[in-house]
Amino acid sequence: MTDTSSELLIRPATEADLPAIVALLADDPLGAARESTDDLTPYLEAFERLTGDPHQNVVVAVRAGRVVGTLQLTIVPGLSRRGSTRSIIEGVRVHADERGSGLGTRFIEWAIERSRTENCALVQLTSDVTRVDAHRFYERLGFTASHVGFKLQL
């Protein structure tokens, strides 16, 4: 998982990474409204649930000993598409200092390759409609905006 050309390491997240992960999640207009770095308790509880599930992959990108990105990759077995397994990429964040450096591309390529090793037939993700730059980024990587997503806040 090491990229020696840019000294980038993509590895499973640890509990010690949570403060940096939450800071990344909170560091944009959408995240600032729904995340809080003040109390890590709910994040720790969620992290424990995630690490206990073999279908969940919470990873960080580390450069020079510093967490500079995070994403969650979920492997989902299914019945549709002739019983295909798919993966879902969630919570992609790249530190502001690293945007435009190629890290996001490397990160998504890692998730796609991991999905292949898990025999996934499809990789999917959602992106908030306001994240126009992210949409262009995903389209450059071969993703198509093929569906309309719906969410219900509970």
Tens-place pLDDT, residues 96-146 = 898 888 888 999 999 999 999 999 999 999 888 888 888 898 889 899 988
**pLDDT score recorded for residue 120:** 97
Task: Please report the domains of the chain, with CATH numbers, ordered by start residue.
Answer: 2-140 (3.40.630.30)
Rounded Cα–Cα distance for residues 12 and 15 (Å): 10
Percent with pLDDT over 90 in the chain: 62
Within 10 Å of residue 87's Cβ, how many Cβ atoms? 22
Q: What are the two backbone dihedrals, phi and then psi, of residue 18, each rounded to the nearest 5 degrees?
A: -55, -45
* pLDDT > 50? residue 39: yes
Q: What is the distance in angstroms between the CA of the first residue and the CA of the last residue of the chain?
A: 37
Within 10 Å of residue 131's Cβ, how many Cβ atoms? 15
Nearest to 115 by CA among 63, 77, 153: 77
Report yes or no on whether pTM surpasses 0.75: yes
* pLDDT > 90? residue 73: yes
